[in-house]
Amino acid sequence: MTKKTETDGLAKLVESVLANYREHGRLIKVGVSDQINREAVIEVVHKLQALVFPGFFSQKPVRQDSLAYHVGDLLESVRHDLTKQTERAFRQQQAAKKISGAPVVINSFLERLPSVRNLLAADVEAAYDGDPAAFNHDEIILSYPGVFAITVNRLAHELYLLGVPLIPRMMTEHAHNQTGIDIHPGATIGHHFFIDHGTGIVIGETTVIGNHVKMYQGVTLGALSTRGGHLLDGVKRHPTIEDHVTIYSGASILGGATVVGEGVVIGSNAFITRSIPEKTKVSVKNTELKFMFDKRDEPAPETLQDEFWDWVI
């Protein structure tokens, strides 16, 4: 292509893209001087992680004599950046009345940090107690995806409760990208919460989880029906899980009226759509397997009905 052809070609491309922009107003953010900045939100997440677990993720060592400065610097940085992004979020949602309240909202959020840390301390203990493969607490804090996910979620949940739009979900979707664990910031989660492995977990917005709950990869705490779309806003659509429940891999528990009672154990791959009384163990009944020993022989199927509970707690 000649240079002129190239320039003409580019001009045509630009024109066709601009024309398409005009057709789809929802897909552009132009002329918005304060567009919420996703990178800035992710940066805040990592500074909050550094505040929650000081010294674990720093490039430079954190020293006792300078600890107050380190903390003050991080807190101020988070306060500034998060307030700015929150103002932008309110502005975008045309919640103009709220914009001036952003500093107070973020201050309230930061005042919650000690409470969030208390919960996370218990979560780390739960991880250590719940996983024989855990080498020590350092390993858990440094590398367990479940701990990263619950750290981000507890922080995002506080912002959600304070009515901050957009940002909580951006934070949890970042954690979802990193860990494969998808917990909506609206979910309410008690203390000593442990996710082991975690890839594929989905926990919906109106889920309520009690204390000392443990779950494995692929678990869904979800909604039964999305019929009604946005008429369902505000309605409880996701289940309630009471204290001391264990949910094995691949299980699904669905429905806003579904309550899993205290001490219940849900077996792998169970599909639950109604409430379970306390202290019950629930497993999939038909775990029958079919065996074929050799393709050429008469298949000698041998069915095997495992008692899940002979083998598992």
Residues 25-44 that bind a second copy (CB under 8 A): 26-39
- In angstroms, the CA 249 to CA 231 distance is 32
- In angstroms, the CA 271 to CA 283 distance is 9
Q: Which of residues 229-258 bind a second copy (CB under 8 A)?
A: 229-233, 237, 249-250, 252, 254-255
73's tokens: 């610097």
Q: Which of residues 115-144 bind a second copy (CB under 8 A)?
A: 117-118, 120-121, 124, 129-139, 141-144
Residue 22 interacts with a second copy (CB under 8 A)? no
- Residue 190 CB, shortest distance to a second copy, in Å, is 18
- Residue 69 CB, shortest distance to a second copy, in Å, is 9
Q: Which of 200, 211, 262, 275 binds a second copy (CB under 8 A)?
A: 200
Closer residue to a second copy (CB): 149 or 210: 149
**Phi, psi of 165, deg, nearest 5:** -85, 160
Residue 199 interacts with a second copy (CB under 8 A)? yes
Tell me the residue type at 286. N
| Spatial contact of 164 and 89, defined as CB atoms under 8 Å apart | yes
Closer residue to a second copy (CB): 70 or 190: 70
Residue 8 interacts with a second copy (CB under 8 A)? no
Q: Which of residues 266-295 bind a second copy (CB under 8 A)?
A: 268-274, 276-277, 279-294
Q: Which of 10, 46, 95, 163 binds a second copy (CB under 8 A)?
A: 10
| Spatial contact of 237 and 204, defined as CB atoms under 8 Å apart | yes
- In angstroms, the CA 15 to CA 289 distance is 61
| Spatial contact of 289 and 303, defined as CB atoms under 8 Å apart | yes
Q: Which of 162, 165, 236, 262 binds a second copy (CB under 8 A)?
A: 165
Closer residue to a second copy (CB): 89 or 210: 89
Rg (CA), the chain: 25
- In angstroms, the CA 142 to CA 176 distance is 17
Residue 226 interacts with a second copy (CB under 8 A)? yes
Q: Which of 4, 23, 96, 97 binds a second copy (CB under 8 A)?
A: 23
Residue 177 interacts with a second copy (CB under 8 A)? yes
Q: Which of residues 59-78 bind a second copy (CB under 8 A)?
A: 59, 61-64, 67-68, 71-72, 75-76
- Residue 134 gets which letter from DSSP? -
Residue 179 interacts with a second copy (CB under 8 A)? yes
Counting residues that bind a second copy (by CB under 8 A) gives 154
Residue 95 interacts with a second copy (CB under 8 A)? no
**Phi, psi of 101, deg, nearest 5:** -85, -5
Q: Within its chain, how far is the Cα of 230 from the centroid?
A: 21
Residue 17 interacts with a second copy (CB under 8 A)? yes
Task: Give CA separation, 150 vs 54, 135, 142, 157, in Å.
Answer: 17, 20, 13, 10
Of the candidates 287, 282, 284, 286, the one whose C-alpha atom is nearest the C-alpha of residue 266 is 282
Residue 106 interacts with a second copy (CB under 8 A)? no
Closer residue to a second copy (CB): 97 or 300: 300
Closer residue to a second copy (CB): 17 or 97: 17
Closer residue to a second copy (CB): 96 or 231: 231
Of the candidates 34, 42, 29, the one whose C-alpha atom is nearest the C-alpha of residue 167 is 42
Of the candidates 195, 56, 61, 221, the one whose C-alpha atom is nearest the C-alpha of residue 124 is 195
